[in-house]
Structure 1
């Protein structure tokens, strides 16, 4: 398995940035206004590379695991190029370069830097001693993670607690269900209550939705869903625990008392959250123009701070503690490579959605309104289902704007519509491995520690059998 050092990882990040930046700077001097992609000009055929990217993630690990393990980065690059090359031929080099740079610098690179920082910092926190993965302990860990997710982000909470959960259940025969429910609750549902919890809610906050609007309005739906899932998990885990014969783990030879090691990383996690919040609140009005793509100063500062925090975590954490925490770089490398292909090949899908009633998916947009009135059930399901396969943050914005885009109006007169959009984007990010940022990383960490996780479609069988009935209940109760 490929093990990269932090320095190698950072070299890769900066090399990618440089490769993208140099042609931008060279061409920017000759530019005469920002290129513009009109999603109304794109047919659904342009979504084929993105669909093939998803199918590759779903099929190759099952049919050609050895090939996939050594070449998933090349496969991601292939499908990215399968979009970029025809797009360049059709619409010209200038527009193609603009779209790629826009996606890399405003979406992908910030996304990876945030994940890298959270992955590094959370990986420095080690729970000493032995937690025994009984149904009560496992349910307690999921509950704690669900509570933490709204205040430190789903990614932060997931990276902090997935390793303790895996170690607590290392002696168990049945482990997959624990990781699947962990993704449901900690990596998604738990992030419902504040803009810090999940990127779609943070975008709503930037658009004018008050910070505690989500806390007030999402609290009951979140508790409803979380209570059902926690109760169901406890029942399932209790049955499987009994089926295993209530196993007892081997005695911990280290004799360590239960406690936390690397506590400085908890303070650094607060620094990560503050850095992200700063970029949303501080608006100096200064930006660096890279081939007509404005990279704002607050976002540059945020990304630099996140990289500094990651470096401090490595400097201040005992390497032996990370080793005992089963920390290595492969999960973040895998996510970085695969999501590069996802973000690039996803460009036309997002553009078509943004075109609204003028785009190839006009029938989807038209379903959320009837006689000028919002259909909240469809807002919930369409936002959710599209968020399951596309980035849930821009999907949230598409439907936020479709509903009028006026935060004050939405918070008051159309509060149920805003609730439907918010709940759909956050809740249904759990439907697939790529629905929300930490899902795939949790899966990768679990597999790295020997848990045989479901395939892409296998996971969707879990989410379809468990989450979809719960979301149908949510529909009847709240919308």
Structure 2
């Protein structure tokens, strides 16, 4: 059995290479005032055309189509594909707008959005990968419903990715003696991999991006709590009824149970304080405002953000040090999911730069028709349109960049969006998180859960078969949610 960790020399070389590159770049920047002056400026969004959105569309369509249409090619070359779209934007963008202003925009996106986003995912992925739920129980309708409820609550604490990876294998073991169990995984994707992550920035990547833009940590807890409870209160009883119907129709004789019932236990408890440390680090960065900033290529990097990211990396490395490799191997832990996310989102954040600048220009920019679509005749936002447009695009593209697009379309001012426009921000947040469940590609954990379930022999629905389930069940629920909360 191979180790879940890369070889120590390779890790040391990679870390050393990154450190040397960062040190050289910083030294050159600090030593050369001409370089500091050159890498400055700002790209004016009002002057940009929609042609600059083509690389982002290409990037997101690649993510949506290639894993299904050319899985082997995608698995071996997704990093190159991400780099291709990023360079396809950045080279002509720098030629048209100037190297200095474009470099300034890239550094801003890298330091204030991409790096903290990936560091948080890395920390949650690494620490949750050190928790193993051993043993097995019988997957009755009541037990399955209880597991889904626990996972839904857990998703806002350790993230939809963390909760999905911790619970999907125990859920599959509990139901591996049933002939019809695909619906259990489908509802798991609905609740644990998506809806459950709507209450904190730890839960789902879109909400953490909102936190990085200035949204308070507990804002979604208080402003999206009713909507989340409404959706969950409809989904859990519905799942119980469907699961009970399938359970009663299991044809005798029962299928042999490959994993007989055994005592349940949680291994890797030393990682739980580390998860608490992640929460504390995020809260610290939201409440501690020392007023100290570092000017890096024109980007003002607050001290609290640097401290937060360093703490998160330290917690993740601590988890690697204190968790036996054998435990991670039993958990099916490997680095490929986080490696894929890091490479793909590097391309997404790069190609997103001009799109966000256009949206920030509002009615003065090339996105004026989209602004008009989500606004009434007085210019006030239409919350129902924000909910559905954010949601539908999240389901076919990716909910994190989609959230950021509509966040900026609504003005991009966190204080304004948490105050007078609170219902609009709730609509954007709910659309991005809830409707990521409509397809296998709407949120990163969806596809991971699908792959694990198929590997365990579950006859999962096809891409469009899953959409029949999701639209048939979630579609009416989201329509009700719109009428109750966003009209």
In 2, Cα distance between equivalents of 1:180 and 1:203 = 27
Select the residue among 322, 335, 353 that pairs with 1:316.
Answer: 322
Answer yes or no: is 1:165 the counterpart of 2:175: no
Answer yes or no: is 1:471 the counterpart of 2:481: no
Answer yes or no: is 1:47 the counterpart of 2:57: no
Select the residue among 284, 292, 299 that pairs with 1:278.
Answer: 284
Deviation of 1:441 (Å): 4.9
Answer yes or no: is 1:66 the counterpart of 2:68: no
1:139·1:234 contact (CA, 8 Å) conserved in 2? yes
SS of aligned partner of 1:133: coil
Answer yes or no: is 1:375 the counterpart of 2:382: yes
In 2, Cα distance between equivalents of 1:25 and 1:374 = 47
Answer yes or no: is 1:183 the counterpart of 2:192: no
In 1, Cα distance between equivalents of 2:225 and 2:315 = 31
2:450·2:460 contact (CA, 8 Å) conserved in 1? yes
In 2, Cα distance between equivalents of 1:26 and 1:314 = 34
Deviation of 1:118 (Å): 1.0
- Hey, what does 2:149 align to over in structure 1? 143
Answer yes or no: is 1:5 the counterpart of 2:15: no
1:241·1:247 contact (CA, 8 Å) conserved in 2? no
Deviation of 1:196 (Å): 4.7
SS of aligned partner of 2:289: coil
In 1, Cα distance between equivalents of 2:16 and 2:447 = 23
Select the residue among 359, 371, 387 that pairs with 1:365.
Answer: 371
TM-score (norm 1): 0.84
Answer yes or no: is 1:26 the counterpart of 2:25: no
Deviation of 1:264 (Å): 1.2
TM-score (norm 2): 0.83
2:3·2:329 contact (CA, 8 Å) conserved in 1? no
1:190·1:197 contact (CA, 8 Å) conserved in 2? yes
Deviation of 1:45 (Å): 2.0
* 1:161-219 C-alpha deviation (Å, 9 max, x unpaired): 23333443455555554444323222332233345544555676788877666444433
Deviation of 1:367 (Å): 2.7
Pick closer, same or farther for the CA change 1:433–1:288 going to 2, 3 Å: farther
Pick closer, same or farther for the CA change 1:356–1:259 going to 2, 3 Å: same
Select the residue among 430, 433, 442 that pairs with 2:437.
Answer: 430
Deviation of 1:97 (Å): 2.3
SS of aligned partner of 2:266: strand
Aligned length: 474
In 2, Cα distance between equivalents of 1:210 and 1:475 = 24
- Hey, what does 2:86 align to over in structure 1? 80
1:66-465 alignment, distance < 5 Å:
66-171=72-177, 176-194=182-200, 196-198=202-204, 201=207, 214-241=220-247, 245=251, 247-252=255-260, 257-370=263-376, 371-388=378-395, 389=397, 391-395=401-405, 397-401=407-411, 405-406=415-416, 409-410=419-420, 416-432=423-439, 435-436=442-443, 438-439=445-446, 441-443=448-450, 462-465=469-472
More displaced 10-residue stretch of structure 1: 467-476 or 383-392:
383-392
More displaced 10-residue stretch of structure 1: 303-312 or 5-14:
5-14
SS of aligned partner of 1:128: strand
Answer yes or no: is 1:37 the counterpart of 2:43: yes
Q: Which runs of 5+ in 1 are unaligned?
A: none
Deviation of 1:301 (Å): 1.6
Pick closer, same or farther for the CA change 1:217–1:72 going to 2, 3 Å: closer
Deviation of 1:435 (Å): 4.7
More displaced 10-residue stretch of structure 1: 137-146 or 381-390:
381-390
In 2, Cα distance between equivalents of 1:251 and 1:459 = 27
Pick closer, same or farther for the CA change 1:159–1:283 going to 2, 3 Å: farther
Deviation of 1:135 (Å): 3.2
Q: Which runs of 5+ in 2 are unaligned?
A: none
SS of aligned partner of 1:124: coil
Pick closer, same or farther for the CA change 1:383–1:103 going to 2, 3 Å: same
Pick closer, same or farther for the CA change 1:356–1:244 going to 2, 3 Å: farther
Deviation of 1:146 (Å): 1.3
Deviation of 1:51 (Å): 1.8
In 2, Cα distance between equivalents of 1:92 and 1:359 = 20
More displaced 10-residue stretch of structure 1: 137-146 or 288-297:
288-297
In 1, Cα distance between equivalents of 2:460 and 2:295 = 43
In 2, Cα distance between equivalents of 1:130 and 1:311 = 30
* 1:277-318 C-alpha deviation (Å, 9 max, x unpaired): 212222222233332223322222222211221122122223
2:374·2:386 contact (CA, 8 Å) conserved in 1? yes
Deviation of 1:126 (Å): 0.9
In 2, Cα distance between equivalents of 1:316 and 1:4 = 14
Deviation of 1:448 (Å): 6.6
In 2, Cα distance between equivalents of 1:423 and 1:79 = 29
Deviation of 1:325 (Å): 1.5
Pick closer, same or farther for the CA change 1:205–1:446 going to 2, 3 Å: same
Pick closer, same or farther for the CA change 1:150–1:433 going to 2, 3 Å: same
1:35·1:94 contact (CA, 8 Å) conserved in 2? yes
Deviation of 1:249 (Å): 2.0
